[in-house]
Amino acid sequence: MTSSDLQEQLNLKALNLLQEDADKIQKLIEVQMENLATRYCPLYEEVLDTQMYGFSRQVDYAVRVGLIQELTGKQLVNKLERNLALLYEAMNNRE
Amino acid sequence: MTSSDLQEQLNLKALNLLQEDADKIQKLIEVQMENLATRYCPLYEEVLDTQMYGFSRQVDYAVRVGLIQELTGKQLVNKLERNLALLYEAMNNRE
């Protein structure tokens, strides 16, 4: 394997893992949105905020190591933040 | 550069960045310990807990990408956790 193959492979792995984590948080947000509709479970704002923080730290780290582009990282975080903002807006509209 | 050179270089960079972050949190813990002695500033338990969480997520990510050994990651986190535990113990003894 050449070094550029390895770099490509690592970059892909780094990005895929981030995408997996983003999907998990997205799933959490969706579950919270469903709960909001059914009032079945309490909302865990803090849990989501903590997840988002952890995720943004992972992304930041991947950028610093040089595994993903800064712009790609920003896009991953922004997408989740938008969904989280929508959730909080929906919560506030209920109160 | 060969692929093993690249791997070594990335592993070293990944570890150095984690060590830098650990040092920053360690510094935060020390500042908190000094504040405990002088009562000059409030303690930010939550800030430290959040920092620790973010750090453990970064370490976990580095292990998953394959940049550092699992044991190395555990040692980095354990060392900080021990210092944090000492800080909390000192806090509780004051009260």
Nearest-neighbour CA in chain A from B31: distance (Å) = 22
What is the chain A residue with the closest CA to B64? Answer: A17
pLDDT at B41: 55
Cβ-proximal residues to A42 (8 Å cutoff; 6+ apart), any chain: A35
Q: Is the per-residue pLDDT at A12 higher than 70?
A: yes
Reported as a single tens digit per residue, the pLDDT across A50-71 is 899 999 999 999 999 999 999 9
Domain limits, chain A: 3-94
Give me chain B's average pLDDT, please: 87
Tell me which residue of B67, B2, B13 sits closest to A17, measured CA to CA: B67
pLDDT in tens, B5-29: 999 999 999 999 999 999 999 888 8
**Chain A residue set in contact with B, beta carbons under 8 Å:** 1-3, 5-7, 10, 13-14, 17-18, 50, 53-55, 57-58, 61-62, 64-67
Taking Cα atoms as reference points, which of A54, A10, A87 lies closest to residue B67?
A: A10
pLDDT of the residue at A61: 96
List, in order, residues 6 or more apart from B18 with CB less than 8 Å away. A61, B55, B58, B59, B62, B68, B73, B76
CA distance B7 to A7: 8
pLDDT of residue A75: 96
pLDDT number for residue B46: 76
| Beta carbons of B58 and B70 less than 8 angstroms apart | no
Q: How far apart (Å, rounded) are the C-alpha atoms in residues B52 and B50?
A: 5
The mean per-residue pLDDT over the stretch A21-43 comes to 77
Q: What percent of chain B has pLDDT over 70?
A: 91
Predicted pLDDT of residue B95: 58
Q: Which residues contact B7 (CB under 8 A, 6 or more apart)?
A: A6
Q: Nearest CB to B57: which of A3, A7, A54?
A: A54
Check whether domain A3-94 has CATH 1.10.287.750, yes or no: yes
State the complex-level ipTM.
0.80
Residues of chain A in contact with residue B14, where contact means CB-CB under 8 angstroms, are: 65
